[in-house]
Amino acid sequence: MNIQIILNETIYTFPAGITLAQVISQLHLPEQGCVFALNEQVIANSRWSQVLLNDGDQISLFQVIAGG
């Protein structure tokens, strides 16, 4: 069975039981300096490998920008 997730307004299909960490790896998304929000809740990077995704989940990727 597959699930669909939305990442920054783009729909992706993955096998059920996939974790946030696996999605990040498979899509070659940047890990350093990034924040991922799942359904508008920020997920700590220490939990990425524990968070199972569900059909219809929405993920937002934010890159931290330093400045002064």
Question: Is the CB of residue 23 less than 8 Å from the CB of residue 14?
Answer: yes
Alpha-carbon distance 58 to 68, whole Å?
Answer: 31
Q: Which position has the token pair 């939990």?
A: 47
Residue 11: CB partners within 8 Å, gap ≥ 6?
Answer: 4, 5
Domains delineated in the chain: 2-63 (3.10.20.30)
pLDDT of residue 1: 94
pLDDT of residue 68: 58
pLDDT digits (tens, 9 = 90+) for 15-64: 999 999 999 999 999 988 899 999 999 999 999 999 999 999 999 999 87
Question: Is the CB of residue 24 less than 8 Å from the CB of residue 38?
Answer: no
Q: How far does CA 28 lie from the centroid of its chain?
A: 11
Q: What is the pTM of this model?
A: 0.89
